Structure 1
Amino acid sequence: MIRDLFLPVAAQPSVDTLVEQAQRAEELGYGRAWLPETWGRDAVTTLTAIAERTEDIGIGTSIMPIYSRSPALVGQTATTLQEVADGRFRLGLGPSGPIVIENWHGMDFERPLRRTRETVDIIKQVVSGEEVEYDGDFFDLSGFRLRCDPPDPVPPVDAAGMGPKAVELAGRFADGWHALMFTKDGLRERMDDFEHGAELGDRDRADQQVTLSLTCCVSEDGETARQLVRQHTCFYIGGMGTYYRDSLARQGHEETAHEIADHWADGDREAAMAALDDDLLDEITVAGTPEEARDRLEAFEGIDGLDAINVSTPRGADQEQIRATIDALAP
């Protein structure tokens, strides 16, 4: 089991702070430092700084939104980051959600599955170094190839997904799947979709990687850690559109998911957090004292088919709490 670090989604004091977190992860033996791209610092510039100031740890995007750049540009970016990182780069991408794509990027959030498929296809053509020829619903490309050497090795291309069709698509066309906010049983169910996709695409499952991002927080005051992950989880279920709500509902927690979302929409954050009980919290996050958190993380690592776990920290965690979590849950 690979244990990676998911660099904080919340704004950090500086790029140097993110570099230092990646350097600490490298010292502690984490396999890769993944960086999300939302509406803060862009992932490409930040990962370049991390690549230049680390030696061994892998780097990756999780996720780079497919609506904010053309597929060809993402392929160019993957080529360049692979060169800068001396072969340590892995590309994770996905549609994000309509709130971010429409209200921040000003793009229509249409047919995300089809756009993801075409984006993955085109990126793979770009990084191959061959002339790109593509006739799709969104993109019609012809006549160009990279004017520099193709990346060596070719960076793997992973796709994020939560619903059955999105996960099947990742299995069929991508080199891996990025999962987020799943219970153990929910992850096992979607794993079947991923493996079915791999069969449809005639993919060698041994060459693909399934990565689960787990919101984790460690503190000697275990209840403080639990409240931080509870707030973070409710923000995603209630404040980031319908994807996380619907995913949790599909996993057998429909009443809870809608109760959280309804309270959040009404502005009652306390009621939303109260709706997320301790048992479910422990099914989708890892939080508590160092000993409690390590035990809970190890329980997730026993899931068949799971290849890597991302240790992710909640939005409200301060630098001391982030550092304590990185240290306590190191490989």
Structure 2
Amino acid sequence: MPDRTVHLPVAAQPSIDSLVSLTQRAEDRGYERAWLPETWGRDAVTALSIMAERTETIGLGPSVLNVYSRSPALVGQTAATLQELSEGRMRVALGPSGPAVVQGWHGVDFDRPLRRTREYLDIVRAVCSGETVNYDGDIFTLGGFRLRCDPPEKEVPIDAAGMGPKSVELAGRFADGWHALMLTPEGLQDRLEDLRRGMELGDRDPADVRTTLSLNCCALDDGERARELARGHLAFYVGAMGTFYRDCLSRQGYEDTALEIASAWGNGDKEGALAAIGDDLLDDLGAVGTPAKAREEIRKFEEIDGVDRVAVSFPRGAEQDEIEATIDALAPN
């Protein structure tokens, strides 16, 4: 069976201590890794440093660092430093994010995301190797950069996130893994075909490319509350976070629903956006409900050939005790 990891809450937590507490809880419950998103809350690097200091065995990593707000050489330095600090427990995920974040929040043109991600992968890996980096790409040209410290004793795996066919193919061809998000079982299998095509193009050994599926999960004794939270999470992402998530749903046979959600949200009708999300879509995109229901739903994703890790993620509106309850209910056996 695939490993179970946790994808810590995307919504800002009350304190850094709360992030650490959730990571320690996941470590105690046997999860393989804790992934930390970086959106509009605390920066991932500082938080991961503290998480590394206050845990012992659980793997750690950002999922994802966007490839616009930091230079690739700096990301390489950061990856090497976090690997040293965590004593070999780091795995880094990179991705382009989208215009709403990159242009709207960082003030940077969202230009050539696939090529930029490819060059980041090359440069970050080269920096972490400790060798002198001379790189002549379409976007980046570097000359003479080298770590002035020992490179990590254990290589830092560098994953790539992607939702569309070409971005997933890129992950299979050039990255050490793929981070998948907002996919139905059928949609995931379609994208896994893109991943395999990328591995073939890159002459990769499939054993060297790991797939991590971030799955929206909420397991509560009050199953209706869990499903209400999941609806709110999905409505926000499809309605408020640009076109990427809407397009992703459309590719998977939910075009009318995606347009209905986005239209309602854009017109200020949040209740209408929530009402557009039926039970079938909730079950197709996550594991939410009572603990028994959530455990049943997560297994159908874990049984898909090609999935190496399922990352238990949480609805953005979930309270601390609801996140803790979900971590406990879906802990690895």
**Quick check: TM above 0.5?**
yes
> Once the two structures are superposed, what CA deviation does each residue of 1:104-141 show, in whole Å capped at 9, x if it has no partner?
11111111011001111111111111111111121100
Aligned to 2:45: 44
**Sequence identity, in percent?**
64
* Ranges in structure 2 where 5+ consecutive residues have no aligned partner: none
Aligned to 2:191: 190
- 1:109-148 superposed matches below 5 A: 109-148=110-149
User: How many angstroms does 1:320 deviate by?
Assistant: 1.0
Aligned to 2:297: 296
Aligned to 2:204: 203
2-side partners of 1:144 and 1:42: how far apart? 25
1-side partners of 2:272 and 2:28: how far apart? 41
Aligned to 1:178: 179
User: How many angstroms does 1:17 deviate by?
Assistant: 0.4
Q: Which moved more, 1:173-182 or 1:143-152?
A: 143-152
Residue 70 of structure 1 pairs with residue 71 of structure 2: yes
Q: Secondary structure in 2 aligned to 1:83?
A: helix
Q: Is the 8 A contact 2:12 2:40 kept in 1?
A: no
User: How many angstroms does 1:151 deviate by?
Assistant: 1.0
Q: Specify the code of the residue in structure 2 equivalent to 1:209.
A: R
User: How many angstroms does 1:163 deviate by?
Assistant: 0.4
Q: Is the 8 A contact 2:127 2:133 kept in 1?
A: yes
Residue 103 of structure 1 pairs with residue 97 of structure 2: no
Q: Secondary structure in 2 aligned to 1:33?
A: strand
* Structure 2 length-normalised TM: 0.98
> Once the two structures are superposed, what CA deviation does each residue of 1:126-161 show, in whole Å capped at 9, x if it has no partner?
111111111112110011211111112111000000
1-side partners of 2:271 and 2:219: how far apart? 22
1-side partners of 2:157 and 2:165: how far apart? 22
Q: Secondary structure in 2 aligned to 1:134?
A: strand
> Once the two structures are superposed, what CA deviation does each residue of 1:146-199 show, in whole Å capped at 9, x if it has no partner?
111111211100000000000000100100000000000000000000010011
* Structure 1 length-normalised TM: 0.99
1-side partners of 2:115 and 2:102: how far apart? 16
Aligned to 2:58: 57
> Once the two structures are superposed, what CA deviation does each residue of 1:200-238 show, in whole Å capped at 9, x if it has no partner?
111111011100001111111101100101110111111
User: How many angstroms does 1:36 deviate by?
Assistant: 0.2
Q: Is the 8 A contact 2:132 2:144 kept in 1?
A: yes
Q: Which of structure 1's runs of 4+ aligned residues deviate more than 6 A?
A: none
Q: Specify the code of the residue in structure 1 equivalent to 2:58.
A: I
User: How many angstroms does 1:280 deviate by?
Assistant: 1.2
Aligned to 2:282: 281
Q: Specify the code of the residue in structure 1 equivalent to 2:239.
A: G
Aligned to 2:6: 5
Q: Secondary structure in 2 aligned to 1:261?
A: helix
Q: Specify the code of the residue in structure 2 equivalent to 1:40.
A: G
2-side partners of 1:316 and 1:105: how far apart? 24
- 1:251-270 superposed matches below 5 A: 251-270=252-271
Aligned to 1:226: 227
Q: Root-mean-square deviation (CA), in Å?
A: 0.7
Q: Secondary structure in 1 aligned to 2:262?
A: helix
Q: Specify the code of the residue in structure 2 equivalent to 1:202.
A: D
2-side partners of 1:133 and 1:292: how far apart? 53
Q: Which moved more, 1:195-204 or 1:69-78?
A: 195-204
1-side partners of 2:122 and 2:265: how far apart? 38
- 1:9-20 superposed matches below 5 A: 9-20=10-21
Q: Is the 8 A contact 2:126 2:133 kept in 1?
A: yes
